[in-house]
Amino acid sequence: MAAVFLVLPLVALVWAAPLGSFWSTITTHESLQALRLSVFTSTVAAAACVVLGLPLAWILARLDFPGRQILRGLVTVPLVLPPVVAGVALLSAFGRMGLIGKPLLDLWDIRIPYTTFAVVIAHTFVSLPFFVISVEGALRATPKSLEVAAATLGADRWTTFRRVTLPLAMPGVVAGVVLAWARSLGEFGATITFAGNYPGTTRTMPLEVYTQLQGDQDTATALSLVLLIVCIAVLVCLRERWLGVR
């Protein structure tokens, strides 16, 4: 029953897709532009997740300090936050009238909304928790005794992390990157609220689907199918972790 409920809409989507004109629909200038933008912003966001998330995940997994539970709690908030609320929150912070956005504009004439950078910020904001949680779990699973052994052999903390901890936690890091990338690719609410919606700069695939839905439904369906295919590809990449296929 549940499986039918979950699969049926997806089958219907494939059914509704205009197979005859599928290729010509998804290779129009607008579609390719949105696809390129989505791949670019999701990749940059995934990279940002690694740079920002790896130290945080390590701190959460390895250091014992007061307030760690609170910190972990705060980190997971964007995980359950409605994306449109995330967008409003980002506007309050980085919008032109925002807490940080207004001084940026007044002092250096830097404006964040309506730029591709804003899309990356929105993507990173919503996908970072996925990365941190995934990597923290992987770090916890690596035995501390190996790190202690490395330390007794004279390795400093950084060398231990780089040569022992990270390689052991690598599957978790890779899964985190893929998860963050996929979450970014599907990001809609925070992006349209915070970054805006303009072809080439901020109109990512989900925004293009939404915009096309108002005009040409066949295009919207075809583009949705492209996103579905990408999602299935991600699942195939992660099948070892989630589906238990070995």
Partner 1 sequence: MKKTVLTGSALVMALALSACGSSGGGSSSKTQTLTVLAASSLTETFTDLQKTFEQQHKGVKVTMVFDSSATLEQQAAQQAPGDILATADKKTMDQAKTDKGISGDATEFATNTMVLAIPAANPAKLTSFAGIQAKGIDFLTCVPTAPCGSAAAALLKTNGITHAPASQEVDVKSVLQKIESGEADAGMVYVTDVTAAGAKVSSLPVPHSSDSPNTYWIAATAGTKQAKLSQEFIALLEGREGQGVLSKAGFGKP
Binding site for partner 1 (CB under 8 A): 91, 95-97, 109, 111, 113-114, 192, 195-199, 202-203, 210-215, 217
Question: Rounded to the nearest whole angstrom, what is the least distance from the CB of residue 98 to partner 1 in the complex?
Answer: 9
Residue 196 CB, nearest approach to partner 1 (Å): 3
With 0-12 / 13-18 / 19 or more C-beta atoms within 10 angstroms meaning exposed / middle / buried, residue 165 is buried
In the complex, the smallest distance separating the C-beta of residue 95 from partner 1, rounded to whole angstroms, is 5
Least distance CB 44 / partner 1 (angstroms): 20
Task: Return d(Cα 246, Cα 240) in angstroms, integer.
Answer: 6
Q: Which is nearer to partner 1, 60 or 119 (CB)?
A: 119
* Beta carbon nearer to partner 1, 160 or 202: 202
What is the nearest approach in angstroms of partner 1 to the Cβ of residue 114? 4
Pinpoint the alpha helices (H) of the chain.
2-16, 22-26, 29-62, 68-80, 83-94, 101-108, 116-141, 144-152, 157-160, 166-186, 189-190, 205-215, 217-237, 239-242
136 vs 208 by CB, closer to partner 1 = 208
Separation of alpha carbons 33 and 94, rounded Å = 26
What separation, in Å, do the N-terminal and C-terminal C-alpha atoms of the chain show? 27
Nearest residue (CB) to partner 1, 118 versus 230: 118
Comparing CA positions, the residue from 53, 46, 51, 58 lying closest to residue 165 is 58
Kindly tell me which of 76 and 201 has the beta carbon lying closer to partner 1. 201
From 131, 135, 232, 243, select the one nearest 178 (Cα to Cα).
131
CB of 192 to partner 1, least distance (A): 8
CB of 45 to partner 1, least distance (A): 20
CB distance 43 to 182 below 8 Å:
no
Dihedral sign (CA 187, 193, 194, 198): positive
For residue 224, give Cα distances in angstroms to 9, 22, 67, 210, 241: 12, 11, 42, 10, 26
Q: Specify the residue, 120 or 175, whose C-beta has the smaller distance to partner 1.
A: 120
Nearer to partner 1 by Cβ, of 134 and 191: the residue is 191
